Amino acid sequence: MKSYDVVIIGSGIGGLTCGALLAKKGFHVLVAEQHSLPGGYCTSFRRKKFVFDAAVHFSEGLGEGGSFYNILKELKVEPQKFYQLNPLYKVIFGEDSYSIPADLKEYTSMLSDEFPQEGIDTLFEAIKKLNKEINDLPTVFGTRDKMLVPLKFPTVFKYYKKTFADMMADFIQDTRLQSIISTGWPYVGLPPSRVSALQMAGYLYSAHCEGHYYPKGGTQNLADILVKALKNHGGELELNTRVKRILVENKKAVGIETDRKIDTEYVVSNADARKTFLNLVGSERIPGKLLNQLNSMQPSISFFQVWLGVDMSLKDVELSEHEIFLYPGYNCDYVYESALQGTFGAGCGICIPTLVDPGLAPEGHHIVSIIYPVPYNYKNTWETENGNRRGAPYKALKEEVKQNLIKTAEKVIPGLSGHIVVSEAATPVTLQRYTLNWKGAAYGWDQTPDQSGTNRLQPKTPVKNLYLAGHWTTPGGGTIAVALSGKNAAEMIIRHRSKL
């Protein structure tokens, strides 16, 4: 029976980051992944000669000096090609459209020209202060830390219970401008009236101060870079390996069980949080307070996705942005409420990665990815039959939604349906099947104020030597956020080991 210093469950970006950093520090690390590919949502797949990204469209902070760049630099990985996205995206509100610059000064200048009476600069100064304070927060809060928050972290204290709409109202009065600034709300999973001010402000800071980057060859390459770092430093990755149990003795994690038992000093779960505690550890082994928390917290929304390989040039439609948000009007809440009700046609997101990286498709072809938020339980959990077996009704509903979204996308790309060479689609059921995320959650827990910050599950758990990484813990969902969660977990384990 082989033993390790650390076993990591799940090879999402958080788990891989944690594993690679620990391996570099000399820990004997195993990453166990139930899927045939590493990366979690950050994977790619091929159909004919097209490379499609499963879910992730970019990552922030991969430019020199950025948060993710610094992690890769610490891991001493070879330089990779990342395309910086500028503009970040285009947003269409009915008849109006805006191309959103990556550079913060250019962005605020553009907004100020149209809305000169609004406090745009002061809003982004507050966002910068909030980001700095969040970065200075301790990873684990003691009683004294909590008492000092109002004095040491006044901006965090002011906004940690508020939504981003609340925060904007302190600086911005024009509702159109509020919607423009909040365009990227699908990247955090909730519109401004619902999302935590800390989460949305964090996204806006990373987008405009650290940038969006796309890995050459597809987002799978970002996961593969971390796998390479893991292995270069002596770590191991086992694919097609499903963990059945986390072994606990005297309230302490001591190993895992797959098709064999594996001893370890530490366990890090990058897997679904409910599954981690309720199934792998066992609800009888966790405190009642945590059990109540798990049963009361709500998962984020999931997505319906369509991937198209098309034989059209796209020159006639004059698109240059990597991503387009199509909204019927300036009301973000209307779009989200429509999504909750399963109303397809209120808008969609369109990603065309071949405008950045033409090598993802054959010459003269493009990839068009269409995405729309949707609840897991749409029409009786997508009309599943006999538990997990999906039959004709599911396939028919899936095709119907796919065609509806293609029709919506044709408002931006006329004639799209007549140029499809290959197509695939995925429901929340698909996302759950491949990642085991509860209800196909795209961002772990819903990123509301009461499920963010210290209200989210923390990396250190009540089970000794069991830690969390990924979007079910702090700081939250999104590629850079989960990478930082992996870094936090690694640093906590390093500190714990040094005290022994």
Residue ranges making up the domain that contains 166: 103-210
pLDDT digits (tens, 9 = 90+) for 211-232: 999 999 999 999 999 999 999 9
Confidence (pLDDT) at 388: 57
Distances (CA, A) of 462 to 106, 286, 394: 47, 7, 40
- Considering the domain architecture, whether residues 316 and 332 belong to the same structural domain is answered as yes
- CA nearest 338: which of 421, 392, 408, 285? 408
83 in any annotated domain: no
Do 385 and 425 fall within a single domain?
A: yes
Overall number of domains in the chain: 3
- Residue 89 domain flag: no
Which of residues 210, 231, 249 is at a domain's end?
A: 210
What's the average model confidence in pLDDT over 312-334? 88
Indicate whether 225 and 332 sit together in one domain.
no
Beta strands in 417-470 (DSSP E): 420-426, 466-468
Residue carrying the six token digits 């029409």: 379
pLDDT of residue 314: 84
- Domain assignment present for residue 126? The answer is yes
Regarding whether 432 and 460 lie in a shared domain, the answer is no
Q: Is residue 118 part of a domain?
A: yes
Distance CA 423, CA 337 (A): 28
- The pLDDT, as a whole number, for residue 343 is 81
Quick check: 270 pLDDT over 90?
yes
382: pLDDT strictly greater than 80: no
Q: Where are the beta strands (DSSP E) in 311-438?
A: 323-327, 348-351, 366-374, 420-426
One domain for residues 168 and 247: no
Per-residue pLDDT, averaged over 86-104, amounts to 96
Is 431 in the same domain as 306?
yes
| pLDDT, tens digit (0-9, with 9 covering 90-100), for 52-73 | 999 999 999 999 999 999 999 9
Residue 71 in any domain: the answer is no
String of DSSP letters for 254-307:
EEEESSSEEEEEEEEE-S-HHIIIIIIIIGGGS-HHHHHHHHH--BPPEEEEEE
Q: What is the CATH number of the domain that holds 329?
A: 3.30.519
Q: What pLDDT sits at residue 381?
A: 63
Tell me if 254 is assigned to some domain. Answer: yes
Residue after which a domain boundary falls, among 152, 181, 210: 210
The angle formed by the CA atoms of residues 402, 404 and 406, to the nearest 5 degrees, is 70
387 has pLDDT over 60: no
In what helix (H) or strand (E) does residue 96 lie, and over which residues does it extend?
strand 96-100
**CATH number of domain containing 239:** 3.50.50.60
Query: Is the residue at 454 inside a domain?
Result: yes
Q: Does 145 lie in the same domain as 23?
A: no
Kindly report the backbone phi and psi dihedral angles of residue 348, in degrees, each rounded to the nearest multiple of 5, phi listed first: -175, 170
> Do 310 and 396 fall into the same domain?
yes
Could you tell me which of 457, 486, 443 has the C-alpha nearest to residue 188?
Answer: 443
Question: Are residues 235 and 138 located together in one domain of the fold?
Answer: no
CA distance 441 to 432: 8
Mapped onto helix, strand or coil, the DSSP state of residue 147 is: helix
Q: Is it the case that residue 140 has pLDDT exceeding 80?
A: no
497 CB-near residues (< 8 Å, 6+ apart): 27, 265
Output the six-digit token pair for 21: 């950093």
pLDDT for res 486? 98
Q: What pLDDT shows up at residue 354? A: 97
pTM of the model: 0.95
**pLDDT, tens digit, for every residue of 113-127?**
999 999 999 999 999
Of 419, 438, 457, which residue constitutes the final position of a domain?
438
pLDDT confidence bin for 379, thresholds 50/70/90:
confident
Q: Are residues 146 and 254 located together in one domain of the fold?
A: no
Asked whether residue 237 is domain-assigned, the answer is yes
d(CA 78, CA 115): 44
- Co-location of 265 and 360 in the same domain: no
229 and 222 in contact (C-beta within 8 Å)? no
Please check whether residues 434 and 325 belong to one and the same domain: yes
Cα 178 from chain centroid (whole Å): 23
